[in-house]
Structure 1
Amino acid sequence: MPNDPAPIRLNLELIDQAKGVVSAFGTRYATPPSPGESAAGTHFRHVVDHYRALLSGLASGRVDYYARARDPVLENDPEAMEEALSALESEIEALTGRVDEAIHVDTGGPDRGDGDAGWAPSSVRRELAFVLSHTLHHLATIAAIARTLDVALEGPVGMAHSTLVRQSAQGAPVGPED
């Protein structure tokens, strides 16, 4: 469906959920579950980096997920992260009407070299699907970190929309089992 708002809506729902998860961590946001492991804040920063790479690449039509800021403030400051997530919501909402726009994505990373080699054709819709899946993956990891740190989260976190719909249709409890 041309310019279907579903990719935008699903990303906005997930980012809204992420804001609630950031808030739930409170002072444990930057606490790793055990020595040598990444804290929830590190995963959130990584997610924001991918959204920002997508959004910043739209102006040129070239998205480079390898060129990320890796801002340590976002890893350690939950308030800064909540602000970053809110800003993403506004930018994603602005993509209404652009989901079928053609873009290119870097598939070669730092080894790409100059020229067009390593750039693959894509669309805003496809890349919204990618960042959605990528965010779900990291939210699932963050949910595991929350369980380790005894952080209570509301509802199922890190579960695909399709899984939740299927569980609901089957009359099964929605979300992971305790």
Structure 2
Amino acid sequence: MPCHPSRPIPSPEGLIEENLLTLAQLRNLVDDLAPNAYRQAFGAHGRHTLGKHVRHIIDHYDALLDGLERGEPAIDYEQRRRDEALEQWPQEAASHLAGIEARLSSLGSATSSDALILGYPMDDEALSLASSLARELAFLTSHSIHHMAIIALLAEQLGIGLPESFGVHPSTLRHWQRESVEQAPLSRRSA
């Protein structure tokens, strides 16, 4: 449903919930991993590990939440911490993810129309793009799911079983649910 200027902007609770569900799914995987599996290198250059993708996701949440907590309207995802401990030690990453979940939960009273500026560096200049909390929460869900889909492929190579819903965007899960209901026999739907 498109947003119309005449309609009130929705509160971010639904977007926060999507992020919380995504992060809980990731934290559950990470919390159970052995460090050697978390650090296992993949790819021709060995640049891909479960841990690097998890740390990358964490960095993006930290960039948004740190800016909000400082009261800064500018968000810059390029200025990330890149804490190597978070890509080396799964239990440390799981703990950090739990902290992000708590921080996100405390945003419940924020309004999604709060104006934010997204800093986007280009070659010799930085763009300042108008954004909002709702827009950035939607971005973080999609960004996280994208990396979780890669994590799922890497985990599969390690023989780690994951739920079918891992790394699947909430909109796709809703679509699957609607399809399931539509394909159910009429007698089951009316029961």
TM-score (norm 1): 0.87
Residue range with higher mean Cα deviation, 74-83 or 52-61: 52-61
Write the distance in 2 (CA, Å) between the matches of 1:68 and 1:110. 18
Following TM superposition, by how much is the alpha carbon of 1:94 offset from its aligned partner in structure 2, in angstroms?
A: 1.2
1:42 equivalent to 2:57? Answer no
Residues 39-65 of structure 1 show CA distances to partners (whole Å, capped at 9, x for unaligned) of 000000000000001111222111010
Q: Which runs of 5+ in 2 are unaligned?
A: 1-8, 182-191
Secondary structure (helix, strand or coil) at the match of 1:138 reads helix
* Alignment match of 2:21 (pick from 5, 13, 21): 13
Point out the structure with max Rg over C-alpha: 2
Aligned residue type for 1:159: V
1:140 equivalent to 2:152? Answer no
Query: For residues 53 and 9 of structure 1, do their structure 2 counterparts lie closer, same or farther at Cα, with a shift above 3 Å needed?
Result: same
Aligned residue type for 1:100: S
Counterpart residue number, 1:176: none
Counterpart residue number, 1:107: 120
Residues 83-141 of structure 1 show CA distances to partners (whole Å, capped at 9, x for unaligned) of 110110111111112222111000225743xxxx6111100100011111000000000
| 8 Å Cα contact 1:40-1:145 kept in structure 2 | yes
Write the distance in 2 (CA, Å) between the matches of 1:33 and 1:4. 37
Following TM superposition, by how much is the alpha carbon of 1:30 offset from its aligned partner in structure 2, in angstroms?
A: 1.1
Question: Any runs of at least 4 consecutive aligned residues in structure 1 with deviations exceeding 6 A, and if so which?
Answer: none
Counterpart residue number, 1:30: 39
Q: Which runs of 5+ in 1 are unaligned?
A: 173-178
| 8 Å Cα contact 2:12-2:133 kept in structure 1 | no
Following TM superposition, by how much is the alpha carbon of 1:34 offset from its aligned partner in structure 2, in angstroms?
A: 4.6
Q: How many residues align structurally?
A: 168
Write the distance in 1 (CA, Å) between the matches of 2:78 and 2:131. 16
Counterpart residue number, 1:57: 67
- Percent identical among aligned pairs is 33
TM-score (norm 2): 0.82
